[in-house]
Amino acid sequence: MDIRERINKLRDEINKHNYQYYVLDAPLIPDVEYDHLLRDLQALESKHPELITADSPTQRVGAEPLAAFGTIRHELPMLSLGNAFSEDDIIAFHRRVTERLNATEVPYVAEPKLDGLAVSLRYENGILVSGATRGDGNSGEDITRNVRTIPSIPLRLLGTGTPSVLEVRGEVYMSRSGFAALNQRQRKQGEKTFVNPRNAAAGSLRQLDPKVTAQRPLAIFCYGVGVVQDYLMPQRHSEMLMRLKNWGLRVSEEYRVVNNISECIKYYNEIEAKRDILDYDIDGVVYKVDLFQQQDALGFVSRAPRWAIAYKFPAQEALTTLQAIDIQVGRTGALTPVARLKPVFVGGATITNATLHNEDEIQRKDIRVGDTVVIRRAGDVIPEVVSALRERRPADAVPFEMVTACPDCGSDVIRNKGESVVRCTGGLYCPAQRKEAIKHFASRKALDIEGLGDKLVDQLVEHQLVSNVADLYSLNRDQLMELERMGEKSADNLVKAINDSKSTTLARFLYALGIREVGEATALSLARNFGQLSTLMEASEEALLSVPDVGPVVAANIRAFFRQDHNREVIERLENEGVHWQDLTEFSQQNLPLKGKTFVITGKLDAMTRDEAKACLQALGAKVSGSVSSKTDGLVAGHDPGSKYTRATSLGVEIIDEKNLLTILNKE
């Protein structure tokens, strides 16, 4: 291929992407790839200036405006900016500026480069009369009716003494929070969601119906002026920004005057560090010579001013190949599809994996193994697959199908109605959920194993002493003393706490199993209704749905949990190790001995904790309240009962000591 053909091919490709990006708001490639194409063309034309033509993408900005809108011609062209991608590029820019001006230092205005849609607003005698997109730089689409709906664009300038004509240049964008809310609303309404805030802003601004635009969370930052008539301009760009702000126009609070190249680079580093906490997308910073006199002296090249440049951040998007989709099991059993990628450098790091979120997102984006995909990485955020390029899809690309069994333990997976997450049902057995299952099992409201904290659980699992909760009851002091910060006394105390936990209630045990959506109240309802664990484990969906607090989702979770042989084996081992409770088969739901009675517990008990006493009373049908009233049937009073005892006495509420409590509970 000769040079002419190569240049023509580059021009055709760039023109296609200009049309996709500026006109259709549906870019096919990330910005970094577009920048590469443009720089390649610029380099070739620089070496062969005789081949430059008037219609080359290097000689104009953007693409033709949409025919659906009217056209507004810019009296002063809206030019693009040259790009810098490294400190060397910025130093070279500064050197060119100072050499042309014959100056040692030059002040610049530095501000974030927003990733939105450039617009021009025209005010006549302080009244907004028109708005236009950048278009091809010379003329743009007439979006006057739409910009009027944006709250941050004033319809009338504030104050007096404004120019008779003022053209304001700015960037319309959508905040990240607004973008998230918009997509959530679109999903609920069954409508198309947007890929990123820039596309959402551009699509919203180009609505033929301004009522639609008005419903979108758009905003603007103004960064400069075009035509100004009947007004004495200030000497500096920074002063002009202050005037715009005083007239009620929104300018970036992040802009700053920097006086030398060191301050330019420092500003870049500071804004890059803030990039991920800003509520709007930026892709670099812009430097503009501050003094208008110096701007005039520097002038323009064909498509950009010599007095300004954009210093781009490392690319956050790139193209690569999706080689496989693996399933990762999280600590709570959630199954997440993970993209395995051909390594690609993006956002300052080499990326080989990226999240695909869930099955629904994969289907919505129509992502298949073998696709060329757009990868996005923003700072420390986990890389994600944004979209697939369908026009590059190979014939053998494979659609995604979610697994039906957990890849870590082989248990069934379940997806509840109305949820997007698929989960493993092997909660007591699955290696991925091991630590969380043990921590929950030992927690205060479950089996309450005192001294078995998170760090100790981590050590037990990492030293392969415990693979599931049943293994806790086989631990001995010698094994425990080998762990970090575990002395003889601590080991003895933990062994005792584990043994003490063997005596529990059915409700606590059910809660300790960690069945999804089965909290304390639901566990108590299940214990009261079924009385025995064996009955509950074999319960039909119909029987489960008859229990208060149990709906279709909870019933499905319970049945799925007990359907797994792995879970049943762990439960059998727990019972063999001596974990036990009092069955409630002698009581029916309609004939619980304490049903309808309300108790309050106060003070310290000797034989059990207050939580244990509460669970025992509830198991017999009682309601346990936190405050004493005239409707209280009894106050369980331990040591140091406090003000609740005084109030109960004044109201004539029966006082129950610990001995009488144990009698009521049939524990003595």
Active site (catalytic) residues: 113
Map residue 166 onto helix, strand or coil.
Answer: strand
CB 398 within 8 A of CB 411: no
What span, in angstroms and rounded, lies between the C-alpha atoms of 171 and 158? 20
Of 478, 486, 425, 430, whose CA–CA distance to 457 is shortest? 486
Of 355, 352, 361, 360, whose CA–CA distance to 327 is shortest? 355
Name, in order, each residue with C-beta under 8 angstroms of 145's C-beta and a sequence gap of 6 or more: 210
Q: How far is CA 381 from CA 276, 354, 357, 539, 619, in A?
A: 9, 10, 13, 44, 47
Residue 167: enclosing H or E segment and its boundaries? strand 165-174
Of 388, 384, 471, whose CA–CA distance to 429 is shortest? 471
Name, in order, each residue with C-beta under 8 angstroms of 533's C-beta and a sequence gap of 6 or more: 506, 509, 510, 571
Of 322, 379, 321, 320, whose CA–CA distance to 349 is shortest? 379
HEC-encoded secondary structure of 541-562: HHHHHCCCCCCHHHHHHHHHHH
For residue 275, with 0-12 CB atoms within 10 Å meaning exposed, 13-18 middle and 19 or more buried, which class applies? middle
Instruction: Tokens 């606590």: give the residue.
Output: 508
Q: What are 582-587's contacts with CB under 8 Å, separation 24+?
A: 582/505, 582/506, 582/619, 582/666, 583/506, 583/531, 583/532, 584/506, 584/527, 584/528, 584/531, 584/532, 584/619, 585/531, 585/532, 587/528, 587/531, 587/620, 587/621
Annotate 96-158 with DSSP letters as a single string. Answer: HHHHHHT-S---EEEEEEESSEEEEEEEETTEEEEEEE-TTSSEEEB-HHHHTT-TTS-SB-S
Expressed in angstroms, the distance from the first to the final Cα of the chain is 97
Of 98, 74, 102, 80, whose CA–CA distance to 34 is shortest? 80
Q: What are 494-500's contacts with CB under 8 Å, separation 24+?
A: 494/449, 494/451, 494/452, 494/456, 497/449, 497/450, 497/451, 497/452, 498/449, 498/452, 498/472, 498/473, 499/473
Which 8-state DSSP code applies to residue 626? S
What span, in angstroms and rounded, lies between the C-alpha atoms of 342 and 318? 11
Instruction: Tokens 């409590």: give the residue.
Output: 661
The residues facing 112 across adjacent strands are 285
Which 8-state DSSP code applies to residue 22? I
Pull the structure tokens for residue 321: 């190949």
Q: What distance lies between CA 200 and its chain's CA centroid?
A: 17
Q: How far is CA 278 from CA 241, 258, 273, in A?
A: 21, 21, 10
What span, in angstroms and rounded, lies between the C-alpha atoms of 212 and 227? 30
Q: How far is CA 507 from CA 437, 512, 617, in A?
A: 17, 9, 11
What span, in angstroms and rounded, lies between the C-alpha atoms of 429 and 449? 20
